[in-house]
Amino acid sequence: MQSLKFSQFGADNGRAIIYFHGVPGAPEECAMFDHYGKEHGLRFICFDRFAIDASIAGEAYYQFLAAAILKQAAGEKVDVIGFSIGAFIALQTCRYLPDRVRSLHLVSAAAPLEAGDSLNAMAGKQVFQLAKAFPVLFVLLSYWQSLLALLSPTALFRLLFANVAGDDKALAADLEFRSGIINVLKSCFIGRIRGYVRDVQSYVLPWKTTLSEMTVNTQIWHGAEDNWSPVAMAEYLQSAIPGCTSTQIFKGLSHYSCLYRAAPEICRQLGSPAFLN
């Protein structure tokens, strides 16, 4: 069985928190939790899932991730955070972790495309339509993005963030954020393109029926101005997940700005002694 590499942030000996990065995304994305993890005694683990052999797909992929989580958990329960399409992968993986997940946090989560009409409001509409209807063309587009990430990662950043909304506009103009995301994009698209393709192609398949299995304590965090995962997706997930206990919609925030806003609140909650009782 292939060993799964991961990046670790936060407190070295803290309680295990599993983070599922976005798509596009990479383990470096989890670095934003490092300070909060140290502050609240939390050890963040983000698996390099795009490096998993492309032959491991479908349910076997989620089972593979679940096995890796159980290995890191060492018999203890874990808390899980999923961002963007990473929230979809987190949901599917948690199906194979019965009674092992204490809480699941879905941040800027992407809902099933077959649920409602959110696709038309998504900034990445054309990419998802291509992945769904013309998978070969989608793969070619992905390899072109990989070449762009290699030759001109700044141009790829500008392309992906051309239509940001809400407070993501200010983030996209921030040099530190831009530098961090460019590194994430290079990690994602250079050498890991087949893993990226697997996640997107899995996401565009029908999966809304799996949500009825989610009885774990689930909390939703979403930006009201999100145009990557429109807020209607949060509303749908709230209605479709039996274990959903709360939904926080942040006014003025979009995709990444929601993640930055939610991160300290999630860590404060997970680090509270009352949360473990």
pLDDT in tens, 72-123: 998 899 999 999 999 999 999 999 998 999 999 999 999 999 998 889 989 9
Please report whether residue 220 resides in a domain: yes
224 within some domain = yes
H/E segment holding residue 78: strand 78-83
261 Cβ contact list (under 8 Å, min separation 6): 221, 223, 250, 253
Place of tokens 């958990």: 73
Residue 1 domain-assigned (yes or no):
no
72, part of any domain: yes
The domain in which residue 227 lies consists of 6-276
Region of poorest pLDDT, from 34-43, 150-159, 247-256, 265-274? 265-274
Instruction: Give tens-digit pLDDT for 187-233.
Output: 999 999 999 999 999 999 999 999 999 999 999 999 999 999 999 99
Give 255's pLDDT tier (boundaries 50, 70, 90): very high
Number of domains in the chain: 1
Looking at the DSSP assignment, which residues form a beta bridge with residue 247? 220
Return the pLDDT at 273. Answer: 78
pLDDT at residue 118, rounded to an integer: 86
Q: Who contacts 84 (Cβ-Cβ below 8 Å, separation ≥6)?
A: 22, 23, 25, 107, 108, 109, 110, 228, 229, 255
CATH of the domain at 36: 3.40.50.1820
Enumerate residues 6+ apart whose C-beta is below 8 A from 72.
Answer: 6, 16, 18, 45, 78
Does residue 29 lie within any of the structural domains?
yes
Cα separation, 78 vs 100, in Å, equals: 6
